Amino acid sequence: MTDVCPAPSQNSKFSIRNLSYAYGEKQVLHDLNLELPACQLSILFGPSQSGKSTLLRLLNRLNDELEHTRRVGTILLNGEDIYRPGVDVAALRRRVGMVFAMPIPLPLSVRENVLYGPRLAGVRQASVLAETLERSLQAAALWEEVKDRLDDSAFALSGGQQQRLCLARVLALEPEVILLDNPTSGLDPLSTAKVEESLRQLKERYTIIMVPHSIQQAARVADYAAFILGGRLIEASRGRTLFTVPSDPRTEAYITGRFG
């Protein structure tokens, strides 16, 4: 099991240095420099099409197979370049898991959705699989709702339950980092609150980096926040500071609803 973070860390989990990225002729990120702290919930926020989701995908190399893209700069995870030659990308993605905006359960039972990754990794011992199943569903705040339905199809769950199931599937692999791309965009307020409460508990064990559904959500959950506008980092600081006394007038304008 992943070591519990002893306290919110000032050490960087990811160091992003001089990062630029383009799809064909469209420049999406411009010379981005950002330190994302370990053992905290970091928020990347800004208007649509600002490059937030692209940045998130670059943190576990999900864009590797896209053609006609260009990347310049460095992304370090625990001080090591994740794009250096010889990196095991599959292993990286186990360390840095991702949950997307739309829940995409596998066409399997609830149980087999959670255990798919561990089984693929070679785990066969029944007691270990049973512990992983319950632990992951508990951490995703889903166990009590599905413990008597583990062999039902995942598609029988509600949208909010499917999203938390996808989170449990990531947690089953015990990642170091959880990336969340707008994970509550299609959920009702009650399901959103359950996901947010799960994140508050999970950040004691994992580094979480999230693109939020709204400014209000960002302000509620952020330990650390970065405002990205037009693919450029405008400012980054502790969440409480950024959402109450931002240093840049563009940040203040955005969080108060004067644009965006």
pLDDT of residue 172 exceeding 90, the answer is yes
Query: Domain 12-255's class?
Result: alpha beta
Tens digits of per-residue pLDDT, 181-233? Answer: 988 887 788 888 888 888 888 888 899 999 998 899 999 999 999 999 999 99
The whole-number pLDDT of residue 186 equals 75
The whole-number pLDDT of residue 168 equals 95
Q: What is the mean pLDDT of residues 159-184?
A: 92
Q: How far apart, in whole angstroms, are the C-alpha atoms of residue 99 and residue 106?
A: 13
Q: What is the pLDDT confidence band of residue 7, given thresholds at 50, 70 and 90?
A: low
What are the sequence ranges of the domains in the chain?
12-255
pLDDT of residue 54 exceeding 90, the answer is yes
Tens digits of per-residue pLDDT, 107-158? Answer: 999 999 999 999 998 999 999 999 999 999 998 889 999 999 999 999 999 9
Q: Write the burial class of residue 166 (CB in 10 Å: 0-12 exposed, 13-18 middle, 19+ buried).
A: buried
N-term to C-term CA, the chain: 41
Give the distance from CA 251 to its chain's centroid.
22
